[in-house]
Amino acid sequence: MDRREQVQSLNQALLAEMPQYREQAEAFPADEISQRRLLRSLMNVRPPMPLAPKFLEVQDALLSAEREEKGVVNGDALPPTAGDPRLVLWQGDITRLRADAIVDADNSALLGCFAPCHGCIDNAIHSAAGLQLRDACAEIMRAQGRPEPAGRAKLTRAYNLPARYVLHTVGPIVGRWVTWKDRRELAACYRSCLALAAEHDLRSVVFCCISTGEFHFPNQEAAEIAVRTVREFLEQQTTSVERVIFNVFKDLDAAIYRRLLGPDCAAEGGPGLCGRSGGRGGGGSVRLCGDDLLRRTVPAVFQRLSVQVRHPGHVLRRILSL
C-alpha cells in the first residue's frame, strides 16, 4: 500500500465512524496534500473509542514513515549549554526529538487538541503520535474521574513519536495579569514532570514552553521560572534525570532562553535551528482543518464555523476559518 492508498484507507475508515463529516470531506481537493490534511483533521476531531487493529497497522506505517522523512533528532547528541552540561537548548519541532520523554502542554481534559489542524503543540504531538495517545489519556481520565489540575503530571507511551514517553501537564491560564498562583502552578508543572520522570528512571526530558501560547503566560517570565525550577530540582534532588532539553519554536523564545542559559551550543550552528511544527483543543461536529491552500479551494459554504474550545476554568470562543 503506497502513501496515497494509506491516506485514502484511513480517511474512509474515519468517515465510516464519523459520517457527520462526509459532506465537508467531499469539499477537500483530491490531491495528496489536501487528503493528508483531511486525515489530520479527522484524527483531531475523533473522540476516544476503540481502534481496529487494521486501522492501527496502516496508521502506524504512515506515521512511522513520516517520522523518518522529517528526520529524527537524537537528543543525547545535542550539544549542552556551556554553563551546565545537563541543560540543552534546541529550536525546532518537538515531535522529531528522540529522548526518554517529551512534555505536552495540555488542557484539563487531557485528551489532546480537538480543533482541526490547530497550531498548538498539543495538536502537533497527538497528530504525530497517533490516535492511541488520545485513548491512553482517556483511560487515565476515566480512572481519575475529574479534570486534571494545573501543576500535575501524567505519563503515557509516545507511540509513533521518536520519544519513548509523553509527560502530560496542565499549565496555568493567565488572565489580565500574572498572579502568584499562576507562578506557583507553572513551577509545579516543571517539578511534577521531573519527579514523574525520575519515578520511572527516565534519563532525558524535553520541555516545551508551557503556558506561553494559548494560555498567555508572558514568555520572559515563563522562561525564567522554567530555568530556575529545573536547575533547583537537579541540584536538590537525587534523580535519574541527567539531561533536560528546553525545546523552543519561536525566535523570541530562543533568544530569551539563550540569555538565561548563557553561552550555548545551540547558537553555534549545530542541529538546533531546524524544522518547525505546530499543532489547536473538543467533541461534536467542527470545521475540518484548512490552510492557505484550502482557503482557495474549499467552497464558500464551508468558510466559517464558530466552535467552543474548552480550557480549564473558562471557554474560549474561536473562529476557525478555511
Sequence spans of domains, the chain: 73-268
Altogether, the residues listed in the chain come to a count of: 322
User: Average of pLDDT values for 267-279?
Assistant: 40
Instruction: Say yes or no to pLDDT of 301 above 50.
Output: no
Sheet containing 101-106: order of strands: 87-91, 243-248, 204-207, 101-106, 165-170, 154-157
Q: Measure the N-to-C terminal CA separation of the chain; round to a whole number of Å.
A: 30
Cell of 6: 494509506
Cell of 182: 499562576
Cα-based distances in Å from 70 to 91, 274, 278 = 15, 11, 14
Q: Residue 255: name the closest of 220, 221, 281 by CA.
A: 220
Indicate whether this model's pTM tops 0.95: no
- CA geometry: angle 227, 264, 244, nearest 5 deg: 40
The pLDDT value given to residue 66: 98
* Longest CA span, the chain: 59
The pLDDT value given to residue 306: 29
Instruction: Say yes or no to pLDDT of 69 above 70.
Output: yes
Q: How many Cα atoms sit within 13 Å of 34 on the Cβ side?
A: 16
Helix (H) or strand (E) holding 144, with range, is helix 131-144
Q: Report the distance separating Cα 310 and Cα 109, nearest Å.
A: 9
Burial class of residue 20 in the structure, from the number of CB atoms within 10 Å of its CB (0-12 exposed, 13-18 middle, 19+ buried)? exposed
- DSSP, collapsed to helix, strand or coil, labels residue 308 as strand
The pLDDT value given to residue 237: 78
Cα-based distances in Å from 217 to 44, 150, 197, 297, 311 = 25, 13, 24, 36, 14
User: Average of pLDDT values for 245-250?
Assistant: 96
The pLDDT value given to residue 208: 97
Contacts of 8-11 with C-beta under 8 Å, sequence gap 24+, read 8/35, 9/58, 10/39, 10/42, 10/55, 10/58, 10/59, 10/62, 11/35, 11/38, 11/39, 11/42
The pLDDT value given to residue 282: 35
Residue 89 phi/psi, 5-degree rounding, is -115, 130
Confidence of residue 265 (pLDDT cuts 50, 70, 90): low
Confidence of residue 103 (pLDDT cuts 50, 70, 90): very high
Cell of 253: 523564545
* pLDDT-wise least confident of 16-25, 79-88, 276-285, 302-311: 302-311
91 φψ region: left (φ > 0), alpha (ψ -120 to 50), beta (else): beta
* pLDDT-wise least confident of 101-105, 215-219, 261-265: 261-265
Confidence of residue 236 (pLDDT cuts 50, 70, 90): confident
Average pLDDT, the chain: 85
User: Average of pLDDT values for 211-222?
Assistant: 94
User: Average of pLDDT values for 56-84?
Assistant: 96
In CATH, which superfamily holds the domain spanning 73-268? Leucine Aminopeptidase, subunit E, domain 1 (3.40.220.10)
